[in-house]
Structure 1
Amino acid sequence: MAALLLLAGCASTTDGDALATATSSAVASTTNPAPTPWDPCTIPDEAIERAGLNVGTKESGVFGRDQNGFKICGWESRPPSSKYYVRVFVGFETLDFVDDPSYFDRLQPVRVGTRDATQYQQLAADAALNCGVAFVAGAELIRATIITGTQVGNPPYDPCTELNAVVAALDSELPT
């Protein structure tokens, strides 16, 4: 975006009177674009497969869109089960983000892979089907969620244990 700068100056006339003159110059305004969070969709397919997720189901964003400043990527569990969906959210937030009682509850400290993390539930989420975990990597908050498909009913796994295992399997691919 360029801004126009007008400068008023004086020039002498031949009879010694001052004459106002106007000069202009275009000054380029340099604004740095806002930083963007690390994109979890850049996790290599081999790592996604090792974590038990189906690389063919990768979805960038939620319905194709990032939300609230978070870069988002998600995958279904690998067939034949396809019982749950894992999403990874990355944004410039602190861990206080999940300490908001109007959105999250049942917070507890956990160890996931090599990281200290906070396990949480979204309000009104069924803890028998869903879970979330969050930790900080540098200036970024990394959140991961597991959502069990409604057709599963009573899953043969604990959602938090399963999510923590998936995130631990991806640990080496995540920012530090």
Structure 2
Amino acid sequence: MTVLGCGVRVFGLALAGSVVVGCGGGERASGVPQTSVVSVAASPTSVDAEAKVWDPCSLPDSAIGELGLNVGSRKKEVAGVDFSGWKTCSWQDSAKQYTFSVLSSEHTLAESRSRTDFTDFSDTTVGSHTALQLRTTGATHDQGCTLAVEVPDGSVLFRLLNRVSASSPPPPCAEVRRLTDSLAVFLPAD
């Protein structure tokens, strides 16, 4: 029997580890839709990895506000992007001179150091945590600065990016350091 106008639809059930593939819009000559089941291995690592990653949006509003950041500007993504494997949170300062982002993942400081989109590495500490100051390569090099801080299950990146239109932006590395030092008490303990 012939299948008429078959379009494929995929329905995934990540927890069960199965994908159901069926033909929509097409029918067998007998009028019965054709469906088959294909098993694929689920990736428990990605679910488990995000479960143990510290959530930067758990930083208390009172601490954020005391630093001169606009509590109402909080976003759970950076630049409108939700990065898989990362938990992120960002705020604007009250004067709208910069965006302050905090990104948490299982990635290590060594992985940050090996990235080619970072430069100007400088070993440091933040509270009791080993840390690495770095800057991005390219056009935003002078507008931004990042502190990558080691935590038990990976690292947390504190990133400050001055707005191009800012009238009197702060020196990015000094400002990200001030913010990071104040928020370090909320990081997961070693």
Structures share a fold, TM > 0.5?
Answer: yes
**Cα offsets for 1:23-46 (capped at 9, x unmatched):** xxxxxxxx9642311211111100
Alignment match, 1:23: none
User: Which of the numbers 174, 177, 185 marks the counterpart of 1:164?
Assistant: 177
CA drift at 1:126: 3.9
Question: Cα distance 1:146–1:2, how it changes in 2: closer, same or farther (>3 A)?
Answer: closer
- Counterpart AA for 2:122: Q
Deviation at 1:51, TM superposition (A): 2.2
Q: One-letter code of the match for 1:128? A: D
Aligned residues: 148
Does structure 2 conserve the Cα–Cα contact (< 8 Å) formed by 1:47 and 1:170? Answer: yes
CA contact (8 A) 1:107 1:118 kept: yes
Q: Deviations 1:109-148 (Å, cap 9, x if unpaired)?
A: 1233443311001111444321011011101211111000
Consecutive aligned runs of 4 or more in structure 1 exceeding 4 Å deviation: none
SS in 1 for 2:48: coil
- For residues 154 and 125 of structure 1, do their structure 2 counterparts lie closer, same or farther at Cα, with a shift above 3 Å needed? farther
Distance 1:151 1:88 in 2: 22
Q: Which has the higher contact order (CA 8 A, sep 6+)?
A: 1
Counterpart pick for 1:151 among 150, 158, 165: 165
User: Following superposition of structure 1 onto structure 2, how do residues 50-61 of structure 1 map, counting pairs within 5 Å?
Assistant: 50-61=66-77
Match of 1:122 among 123, 131, 136: 136
Shift of 1:2: 8.6
Question: In the alignment, what sits opposite 1:21?
Answer: none
The whole-number CA distance in structure 2 between the counterparts of 1:61 and 1:126 is 19
Query: 1:70 is aligned with what amino acid?
Result: W
> C-alpha separation between the residues in 2 aligned to 1:2 and 1:150?
46
Report the equivalent of 1:134. Answer: 148
Shift of the 74–99 alpha-carbon distance from structure 1 to 2, 3 Å rule, reads same
Q: Percent identity?
A: 27
Unmatched runs of 5 consecutive residues or more in structure 1:
4-30
TM-score by length of 2: 0.69
Q: Unaligned regions of 5+ residues in structure 2, if any?
A: 1-15, 19-42
Displacement of 1:63: 4.8
C-alpha distance in structure 2 between counterparts of 1:82 and 1:112, whole Å: 26
TM-score (norm 1): 0.74
The answer for the alignment partner of 1:34 in structure 2 is: 48
Q: Determine the C-alpha separation between the residues in 1 that align with 2:139 and 2:65.
A: 27
Give distance in 2, aligned partners of 1:57 and 1:2.
Answer: 38
Higher percent of residues as strand? 1
Shift in CA distance, 175/154, structure 1 to aligned 2, threshold 3 Å:
same
1:57-96 correspondence to structure 2 within 5 Å: 57-78=73-94, 81-96=95-110
Q: Tell me by how many angstroms 1:70 deviates.
A: 1.1
Q: Does 103-112 or 120-129 show the bigger shift?
A: 120-129
